[in-house]
Amino acid sequence: MKIGFYQFRPLFGKTKSNLSKIIKALHNVDADLIVLPELALTGYNFSGREEAVALGEDPEQSMAVAALTQLCRQQDLHIVIGFAEKKQDKLFNSALLIGANGLVHTYRKIHLFNEEKNCFDPGDTPLALQEVKGTKIGMMICFDWVFPEVCRSLALQGAHIICHPSNLVLNYCQQTMLSRCLENSVFAVTTNRFGSDRRPHGEVRFTGKSQIVAPKGKLLHRALSQRQALFITEIDPVQAEDKSMTALNDLFADRRPEFYSVLTACE
């Protein structure tokens, strides 16, 4: 299975030109699954909810989703893309899985970062898996990385690959994703953007360094910080089904959930 990422610099509010850039970059790529950054079409640094709502779209009625579907159909490709998702009076920071027949699944970010809380509604979709050509993928978005429960929940359900659209502004995530892939024995594609969103109300800078990590926490590739990068590599997703650490240890069979009850205690 050929998986990859496209790290680029979306221009704030320029949905059409960002879409064109993506379509041009992915034209004729030899890949099965490409992960794009969080909020790849709209940009990130909204002045507030009003502006975010104005730029958000319903995926069912989005020309961008239609165009990406066409690309997927032509190239037998699946795409995961961060998307400002408008649904009735709600706005979610979402990741869409798009294939040859259109939208396959929407994940709505459950852990919003900083000012996102003033723009988006908290996600309401479960941490669930989707299938891409027989491979099980789980989606999470950016700041979800800091909560070990997210990768863990996806991996325990059988995820081979974690698709992780991001707009990272800090430097902690990339290193921690090595631990996530080690402790869960999964692949992860973290696609970050680079550049900055400079707006009248302030500037947000992004850290690039998109990466693909294999089980055992092995870094397969990490992009530079401030460069556009299209990277594709072939992996064997079945590697993620091997949870052994030693002859007598299995990362999942050795878990003792009867000792973990505080993790799911709701106040």
Annotated active-site positions, please? 38, 109, 142
Q: State the DSSP H helix or E strand holding residue 6, giving kind and residue range, or none if neither.
A: strand 2-7
Among 88, 89, 134, 256, binds a copy of itself (CB under 8 A): 256
Stretch that binds a copy of itself, among 83-91, 172-180, 186-194, 204-212 (CB under 8 A): 172-180
Q: Does 220 bind a copy of itself (CB under 8 A)?
A: no
Tokens matching residue 66:
């239609």
Q: Does 205 bind a copy of itself (CB under 8 A)?
A: no
Judge contact between 124 and 108, C-beta under 8 A: yes
Choose which of 63, 172, 202, 203 interacts with a copy of itself (CB under 8 A). 172
Using rule CB under 8 A, residue 171 touches a copy of itself: no
Q: Is 31 exposed, middle or buried (0-12, 13-18, 19+ CB in 10 A)?
A: buried
Using the minimum distance from each CB to a copy of itself, give the nearer residue, 178 or 232: 178
Side-chain-side CA neighbours of residue 152 (13 Å):
12
Percent helix, strand, coil in the chain (nearest 5)?
30, 30, 40
32 vs 144, which CB is nearer to a copy of itself? Answer: 144
Q: Tell the burial category of 73 from Cβ atoms under 10 Å away from its Cβ (0-12, 13-18, 19+).
A: middle
Among positions 98-137, residues that touch a copy of itself (CB under 8 A) are 110-115, 117-118, 122, 126-127
| Residue selected from 196, 217, 219, 230 as contacting a copy of itself according to rule CB under 8 A | 217
Question: How many residues sit close enough to a copy of itself to count as binding (CB under 8 A)?
Answer: 47
Q: How far apart are CA 44 and CA 129, in angstroms?
A: 26
Please choose, out of 38-46, 70-78, 141-149, 160-168, the segment that lies near a copy of itself by the rule CB under 8 A: 141-149
Q: How far apart are CA 104 and CA 194, in angstroms?
A: 27
The answer to whether 168 contacts a copy of itself (rule: CB under 8 A) is no
Say if CB 162 and CB 149 are below 8 A apart. no
- Single residue of 156, 201, 205, 238 touching a copy of itself by CB under 8 A: 156
Contact region with a copy of itself (CB under 8 A), list: 1-9, 22-30, 84-92, 246-254: 246-254
Q: Which stretch binds a copy of itself (CB under 8 A): 19-27, 30-38, 76-84, 153-161?
A: 153-161
> Is the Cβ–Cβ distance between 154 and 127 less than 8 Å?
yes
When binding is defined by CB under 8 A, the residue of 16, 27, 133, 255 that contacts a copy of itself is 255
Residues 140/154, Cβ–Cβ less than 8 Å: yes
Identify whether the C-beta of residue 164 lies closer than 8 Å to the C-beta of residue 190. yes
Residue 203: HSE in the Cβ half-sphere, 13 Å Cα cutoff: 6
Out of 153, 225, 226, 239, point to the residue binding a copy of itself (CB under 8 A).
Answer: 153
- What CA–CA distances, in Å, run from 217 to 126, 160, 168, 261? 25, 13, 20, 27
Binding site for a copy of itself (CB under 8 A): 110-115, 117-118, 122, 126-127, 143, 146-149, 152-153, 156-157, 172, 175-176, 178-179, 182-183, 217, 245-249, 251, 254-266
